[in-house]
Amino acid sequence: AMKGSAYLINIGRGRTVDEGAMIKALKEKWIAGAYLDCLVEEPLPKGHPLWEMENVFLVPHDSHSSPYIGDRIVDIFCENLKRYVEGRPLLHVCDPRRGY
């Protein structure tokens, strides 16, 4: 359970949060608000209740951004290229069956 003053922050995956339960908690003020970088359905359709909620902050799925992201991407790519050439397992492999 979260305190009534708490904010839910989701920068991971939309499906990690029960969106219906979250909307109910927000409407009934069980929690203070939500900061959402990802949702179950993206883009969020017109008329969705989250658009009208004053205690919700919707951002364009870019919480991964930082001044260092470019360097980090290059580092990971170079390491994975080396591993590929050497026949070793790659880092940060996506598994579509798990949703990411």
- Which residues are catalytic, by number? 13, 42, 61
Maximum pairwise Cα distance, the chain:
56
For residues 45 and 61, give the distance between their C-alpha atoms in angstroms, rounded to a whole number. 15
Neighbours of 58 (CB within 10 A): 15
